[in-house]
């Protein structure tokens, strides 16, 4: 191990063992750092979960639109396509435009 780093760690440990106030401040800071790291990790997890959910919704919408396009190509009327897909008349007309 690197001698200067080891010496610094030992000096810090010795200082903290003799000074209760410094030790409490050090422990408080360490807790704050751990809390922040945990908080950041949870935010990343939440963002990932939201991204996955948005992706699923977008994929479902695209599948419904593709189904509506296929039904249009088969010659089904708009009312039937609306009932089958849940799309509005305007959404179906938008799918007909190139």
Summarised one tens digit per residue, pLDDT across range 40-86 is 999 999 999 999 999 999 999 999 999 999 999 999 999 999 999 99
Per the CB < 8 A criterion, the answer to whether 79 and 92 are in contact is no
Reported confidence tier of residue 5, pLDDT bands at 50, 70, 90: confident
Between 8-12, 17-21, 35-39, 53-57, the lowest mean confidence (pLDDT) is in 17-21
Return the biggest CA–CA distance within the chain. 86
Domain count within the chain: 1
Range of the domain at 78: 3-96
Q: What is the mean pLDDT of the chain?
A: 89
Per the model's pLDDT, the better-predicted residue between 5 and 87 turns out to be: 87
* Number of alpha carbons in the 13 Å side-chain half-sphere of residue 27: 8
Between 6-10, 20-24, 29-33, the lowest mean confidence (pLDDT) is in 20-24
Per the CB < 8 A criterion, the answer to whether 55 and 31 are in contact is no
């Amino acid at each position: 191990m690197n001698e200067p780093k080891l010496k610094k760690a030992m000096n810090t440990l010795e200082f903290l063992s003799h000074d209760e106030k410094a030790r409490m401040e050090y422990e408080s800071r360490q807790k704050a750092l751990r809390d922040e790291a945990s908080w950041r990790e949870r935010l990343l997890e939440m963002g990932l979960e939201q991204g996955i959910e948005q992706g699923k919704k977008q994929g479902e919408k695209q599948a419904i639109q593709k189904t509506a396009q296929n039904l249009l190509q088969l010659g089904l009327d708009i009312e039937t396509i609306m009932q089958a897909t849940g799309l509005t008349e305007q959404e179906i007309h938008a799918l007909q435009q190139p």
